[in-house]
Every structure is written in structure tokens, then in C-alpha cells.
Amino acid sequence: MQSDLQAELKQTRPFRSPREEAMVALQRTAAVLEHALECTLKDSGVTATQYNVLRILRGAGETGLCRSEVGERMVRRVPDVTRLLDRLEDTGLIARTRGEDRRYVTTRITSQGLETLQDLDARVTEFLEQHLGHLSADQLSTLCSLLSAVRHPGDSRS
């Protein structure tokens, strides 16, 4: 019997193992959600990656973060955080300042960046309701626990 995933991908052969099917299911789900989020954010001029950076900097508050700290906190790692921050600075959504040690640059979200995030909060809430709202709190908790177990094999936190 063909699984939902096989039908969705128009795959005629069975998966080689349940692990392979689970991995493909994770990749497919992530791709579907990422595409839908990009569509949600598109007319704001902010990409999902930029949105992630703005959320990180909003959470950091007035103290801000250096480039490497932003990179470490990102959901999806990108190879060139500096260029990503350059684009956000060019649009006025973030500001960077050098400290006494000229090598250390602090990045902070600007008032324009905060306004942009505030405008996007309602859209993202609607997005989350549309894509995850049909799951109960218990299902969401189980999903998060299972995903944590995948990210941290053999770790006691999952």
C-alpha cells in the first residue's frame, strides 16, 4: 500500500526503510512550510532568513549581538552572515556599531525593523494557525519532542 508521502511525491517504489521515509517526510514538510512562509512574507520585502535575523535581534534587545552570535542562533545556517546583515542594514532594518575593540561590531534592530516585525507578527500568527492550528497542544508537544530527538540523537534532553 502506498503511503501519503509516496502519493504526494508520485513515487511508485516503496522506500528502502522507515528511516528513509521519515527523512524524506521531514525534508518535504520543511520545504512545504518554508515555501509557504516565503509566500507569506514576500510582499513585505523580507525573506524568511531575514525575518529570522530580525526576530533574533528583537529578542536580544538593546544590547544587540555580534555577527557570529546572530549566525549561531539562526534556524537555518547561512554561509555569509555578513552579507545578510549588510542587506538588512541597507534597508534600514538593523544598525551596526563598532565598539572600542574595532573588531567587535554590535548589531541591533532599528525602530524600522521593529515596526516591520510588528506588521509581520499578525501574518506569521495566521500562517502558524493555517499550517499548525489543526494540531492539538499535546500533538504539538509530541512533534517538538520527536524533532528534538532527531536533532540530538542519544541526548538526554529529547
DSSP letter assigned to residue 91: T
| Residue 24 contacts residue 8 (beta carbons within 8 Å) | no
Q: Is the pLDDT of residue 57 over 90?
A: yes
Question: Which residues pair with residue 109 across a beta bridge?
Answer: 94
Residues 6+ apart with CB under 8 A from 114: 58
Q: Is the pLDDT of residue 81 over 90?
A: yes
**Position 87 confidence tier, pLDDT thresholds 50, 70, 90:** very high
Helices (H), 61-110: 67-73, 81-90
96-143 pLDDT, tens digit per residue, is 998 777 778 999 999 999 999 999 999 999 999 999 999 999 999 999
Confidence at residue 156, expressed as pLDDT on a 0 to 100 scale: 62
**Position 157 confidence tier, pLDDT thresholds 50, 70, 90:** low
Q: Is 113 exposed, middle or buried (0-12, 13-18, 19+ CB in 10 A)?
A: buried
Long-range contacts of 133-140, Cβ-Cβ distance < 8 Å, separation of 24 or more: none
C-alpha cell at 98: 563598532
Confidence at residue 88, expressed as pLDDT on a 0 to 100 scale: 96
Q: What domains are defined for the chain? A: 46-129 (1.10.10.10)
Q: Which of 13-17, 89-93, 100-104 has the lowest mean pLDDT?
A: 100-104
Question: Which residues pair with residue 66 across a beta bridge?
Answer: 106
Of 10 and 124, the structure prediction assigns the larger pLDDT to: 124
Confidence at residue 116, expressed as pLDDT on a 0 to 100 scale: 95
Distance CA 32, CA 8 (A): 12
27-49 pLDDT, tens digit per residue, is 999 999 999 999 999 999 999 99
Cα 102-89-77 angle, rounded to 5 deg: 85
Q: What is the pTM of this model?
A: 0.85
Confidence at residue 109, expressed as pLDDT on a 0 to 100 scale: 97
